[in-house]
Amino acid sequence: MSDPFRHHPGLRDQIRPAEESFFRHMDLAEIDAHMVANGHPADWRTPDADREATRHRALDGHTEDDIWVFAYGSLMWDPAMIFEEVRRAHAPAFARNFCMWDDGGRGSRERPGLMLAIDHGAGCNGLAFRIARDRIEEETFVLFRREMIAEGYIPTWAMFATDHGPVEALTFRADPEAESIVRDMPIDEQAAMIAVAEGMLGTNFAYLEDMRRHLALLDVTDPYVDDLYDRVTALRDG
């Protein structure tokens, strides 16, 4: 078996092995109980059958060979998938954006926060993971259970540039029709929300801080994330 990190050996110690990830074996019933106990409705998430139907539609015509998955957030350092190869990748048509409204995990109804997505933009850097053909069913089940647990994303195939040639990859972009997506919010408004938001998973600032730290460890640059972090830090220190 070839080394998945052969192109980028420095990433080996920065990416969590699949079997060590919470997301690989997460119990949705346990999460449901936790959400309801914290005031969310019982139907807070996408029904399993609907999520699986979305997964099969997204994969239609893409399972005759290995597939690629483009990661731009926590999937980069905690993919929860078994992969054959990882490459640094550039998304020319997308950019990171804290545009997903959060009034539970990292925010509350009184002080909502913002979570990360990608939307149309001037480009962003991330990682692309290659999933072997014979593992597509299992690994995409894990992937969709995590990324499509509730509304907010659209599974999207797009072309991404890598140092070893272009690849077509599956990624999850902001769904403009979803109620949870707030597009075109000025960065100062984003910063003002993130600076004070806190939910059952902790503060929104901690989420942003963790994102920025992991991007640095992976040597992935994003001026937008750095700018947002500086603005939030200034508000919290002020």
Asked whether residue 197 is domain-assigned, the answer is no
Asked whether residue 162 is domain-assigned, the answer is yes
DSSP state of 67: E
* Among candidate residues 201, 197, 220, 38, the one with its CA nearest the CA of residue 128: 220
pLDDT tens across 66-98, in order?
999 999 999 999 999 999 999 999 999 999 999
Domain holding 163, by residue range, is: 9-101+112-181
Asked whether residue 192 is domain-assigned, the answer is no
Q: What phi and psi, each to the nearest 5 degrees, are found at residue 115?
A: -115, 170
Asked whether residue 191 is domain-assigned, the answer is no
Strand 198-199 to 94-102 pairing: unpaired
Domain count, the chain: 1
Decide: pTM greater than 0.85. yes
Asked whether residue 40 is domain-assigned, the answer is yes
Strand 153-162 to 85-91 pairing: antiparallel
Can you give the CATH number for the domain in which 85 is found? 3.10.490.10
User: What is the spatial distance between Cα 103 and Cα 216, in angstroms, rounded to a whole number?
Assistant: 28
Asked whether residue 89 is domain-assigned, the answer is yes
- CA 161 to chain centroid, in Å, comes to 19
- Which amino acids are annotated catalytic? 147
- The pair of structure tokens assigned to 146 is 């995590």
User: What is the spatial distance between Cα 33 and Cα 145, in angstroms, rounded to a whole number?
Assistant: 17
Asked whether residue 38 is domain-assigned, the answer is yes
pLDDT tens across 6-60, in order?
999 999 999 999 999 999 998 898 888 888 887 888 888 999 999 999 999 999 9
